[in-house]
Chain A
């Protein structure tokens, strides 16, 4: 039987990151992936003369070389190198303000630019916006302090240096905006990114929102030159270079235990002996299907029940490869957020009700950020929105293809009505991925790539504070979007590193104890 120190199950962003971290620390590491390509959502697919990016909109917390974010630092630390394109504007949003008036704004990257632009759209907002960005900065610094203190943050330091973070951190974003007396129109524009976290502004912890938005605006966003498959493959190849083993089409069926400690993994390629598993798998799947029931602590069952069926965004994406250039289609923006209203709570409820009431989508044209994304005179666009759990759960196979095409048609029409951009008549290749598709390729519950909703009591900071309490199975740690940092490329890359560091610590302690 092959034997490894660590087996990383699932080569998604978190798995790739964890595998690199373990191998770099000198642990004999095996990375297994149930699909035949790495990356999970960070992959690509080919249709005709096009290669399509399935999931990455904008990698945040990466930043330029002279102002690197955490993710750039992590990848540099791993020795992963590839070419990137910057997404220069933050976003355009075409929607309605809360007062019902039409909204069509384009926001640039860079804090100063962002505040200036906001002043143009919402005269008199400069002072409040400046305060908001100061608060963002304090929150970021505070999180950095807490993370560096590894669970031993000094409350005196927190009170002295990060009082505003402490005072705002436990509240929802909406509450903090109101407390700041931020003009409603500013709030409407600022709510745009809510869908990247999958929680509306009334339930999204300010601390989480602040960390993400500040990173997007201050450091801009990036995409790999050749889709996120380039990122995943570069990570796999670096891992190999460091001596790691990778098995594709290898699915973990069951975790094996010796007493209450993990000792191996059963897969379609046979059993593997190991001391530790970092599983890029949703904990409900691990506990529900992959390990002995009697080893699951009561608290873990309660944690699962407390979350109920509250999964984050169940993805629906439609990809279109067009045989004309963006200019010919009148596309100028990299990303356009389209919604019925800027009120995220209303939008989210409409999404959960189903395709009929869902007016939400994010339109992307990859060629705007990367002119070489597809052959000359063509472009690739996508729409991203979310599915409702009951609708996609109850849907029958015989209705499936038509149902998803009809939804895509509605989204295409919505773009045309709101921006005049009409893709129909130029579509050379297309593909529609529904929550079924994401469930199929990623194995995530309900096709939710966001893990559990990071809302209210189960927000990012609360999870981070309880890292030691959740998932106490010896030798097995779940990683990924369901983990403490929540969803997204940067969050999962960071999560993989963080959880691998904890696993390495455990291994060291056990070895010490065994001596």
Chain B
């Protein structure tokens, strides 16, 4: 390269000086600036923090009594504004109960518009024998405070992806995200047409009957069809939601959104297949991990009912806790009262992602949503991993 001779300035010597002087030029630019206090505050970051805070401190503002259910209207503590959200998203509550610290997620059933004036609403339905719902219904009163995650989840309408016509399939309390969507459509926040097929046992079991009918009355983009499984009545569809019934109400092109209990998902799986929709036109809200892992394919039956010990490390802390093979690792951690991260309880959000250092777990295929490298390097989502031996795991910290 001896023949290479590039000059930028007129005289090469000055260029060399210029190179050597780069640090002097820089120092001069620095010294010329004022020594202002550094604030570290940036509007974009403040926006991001307001929309995605570490956690929310909510206060029960009012309670609306329903048939075997309650709607809790929540506001930010000290009147703080609440993050905006997309209709269909949920918040995850952190509930201290008898020394446990449990997580439960609830879809917001209010319109995103309400968030702008600092209000959310969730609806809790009675669940006899369940650990949390009935306690929430019987114990929580106006003025009580609750720690919750910011709204999250992917069960919402996206106009670049979904058809303008959406058929919503709801069962039981699975109605809540659809109510939020209907309200958002009515408020002009969302722009799509929602036809809701809502399955209940009897007319008396229909949640939000009045609200749904009222929105349908004033908003031409929203329709609701009540489907009763245990009752035959005029003005209602009878039986279960089937491909045939969907066909009856479906327009030419449509997306299907599904939210309901585990049994409904199982029943509807073959029905949805009959519709022949590409995967992109079918979305479902994920539901809690199964309570009967031994019914899942691949479950090592010999561990059913066994007790194990889990050594849990979190930052500098370490403790050993008992665990039941029939419950996810997260439940054992919650029962021990450990402040552990978890939100969706379905394997989807990944917030509980932990390193499995020793031992083995069973993960139902339904809930297997881990990243490739997490599977490869031994990271698990404790919310949907069942212990099949003694374990040592390293869990992340929390911020609330």
Contact B38 A301, beta carbon cutoff 8 Å = yes
Q: Evaluate whether A51 and B371 lie within 8 angstroms (CB atoms) in the complex, with A299-B30, A427-B161, A462-B23 already known.
A: yes
Chain B interface: which size bin? Answer: 35 or more
Contact B377 A233, beta carbon cutoff 8 Å = yes
Of the listed residues B8, B83, B370, the one surrounded by the most CB atoms of chain A closer than 10 A to its CB is: B8
Q: Is A169 an interface residue (CB 8 A)?
A: yes
Q: Is A304 an interface residue (CB 8 A)?
A: yes
Q: Which residue of B lies closest to A282 (CB)?
A: B40
Chain B residues contacting A389 (CB-CB under 8 Å) are 43-44
Give the CA-CA distance A232 to B112 in the complex, in Å. 36
Contact B26 A466, beta carbon cutoff 8 Å = yes
Contact B341 A314, beta carbon cutoff 8 Å = no
Q: Is B6 an interface residue (CB 8 A)?
A: yes
Contact B372 A227, beta carbon cutoff 8 Å = yes
Contact B160 A424, beta carbon cutoff 8 Å = yes
A12-50 interface (Cβ within 8 A of B): 36-37, 44-49
Chain A interface: which size bin? Answer: 35 or more
Contact A247 B315, beta carbon cutoff 8 Å = yes
Contact B40 A168, beta carbon cutoff 8 Å = no
What mask results when residues 279 to 313 of chain A are scored 1 for a CB within 8 Å of chain B, else 0?
A: 00000111111100100101111111110000000
Interface segment, A107-115, A132-140, A475-483? Answer: A132-140
A456-504 interface (Cβ within 8 A of B): 457-459, 461-463, 465-466, 469
Q: Which residue of B lies closest to A470 (CB)?
A: B30
Give the CA-CA distance A251 to B341 in the complex, in Å. 14
Interface SS of chain A:
helix
Q: Which residue of A lies closest to B316 (CB)?
A: A2
Contact B280 A284, beta carbon cutoff 8 Å = no
Q: Is B211 an interface residue (CB 8 A)?
A: no
Give the CA-CA distance A165 to B8 in the complex, in Å. 11
Chain A residues contacting B359 (CB-CB under 8 Å) are none
Q: Is B68 an interface residue (CB 8 A)?
A: no
B26-76 interface (Cβ within 8 A of A): 26-45, 47-52
Chain A residues contacting B314 (CB-CB under 8 Å) are 269
Chain A residues contacting B31 (CB-CB under 8 Å) are 299, 302
Q: Evaluate whether A397 and B51 lie within 8 angstroms (CB atoms) in the complex, with A284-B40, A430-B161 already known.
A: yes
Give the CA-CA distance A134 to B374 in the complex, in Å. 44
Interface segment, A85-93, A191-199, A400-408? Answer: A400-408
Q: Which of A164, A251, A272, A435 contacts B6 (CB 8 A)?
A: A164
Contact A179 B22, beta carbon cutoff 8 Å = no
Contact B39 A167, beta carbon cutoff 8 Å = no
Chain B residues contacting A167 (CB-CB under 8 Å) are 6-9, 12, 15-16, 19
Contact B32 A247, beta carbon cutoff 8 Å = no
Chain B residues contacting A135 (CB-CB under 8 Å) are 4, 6
Contact B38 A284, beta carbon cutoff 8 Å = yes
What mask results when residues 208 to 233 of chain A are scored 1 for a CB within 8 Å of chain B, else 0?
A: 00000000000000000011011011
Give the CA-CA distance A287 to B37 in the complex, in Å. 9
Q: Which of B112, B280, B398 contacts A323 (CB 8 A)?
A: B280
Q: Is A395 an interface residue (CB 8 A)?
A: yes
Q: Is A508 an interface residue (CB 8 A)?
A: no
Contact A249 B397, beta carbon cutoff 8 Å = yes
Q: Which of B45, B47, B116, B160 contacts A409 (CB 8 A)?
A: B160
Chain B residues contacting A46 (CB-CB under 8 Å) are 350, 369-371
Chain B residues contacting A138 (CB-CB under 8 Å) are 1, 4
Give the CA-CA distance A401 to B115 in the complex, in Å. 14
Contact A306 B33, beta carbon cutoff 8 Å = yes
- List chain B positions with a Cβ less than 8 A from chain A: 1, 4-9, 12, 15-16, 18-23, 25-45, 47-52, 83-84, 86, 112, 116, 154, 158-161, 278-280, 314-316, 341, 350-353, 369-374, 376-377, 379, 394, 396-399
7 A-B residue pairs with CB within 8 Å: A164-B4, A233-B377, A290-B40, A301-B37, A304-B38, A397-B50, A463-B26
4 extra interface residue pairs, beta carbon distance < 8 Å, beyond A293-B37, A301-B36: A230-B376, A288-B39, A300-B38, A426-B280
Pairs A-B, 7 closest by C-beta atoms: A288-B40, A393-B43, A249-B396, A269-B315, A428-B280, A306-B33, A248-B396
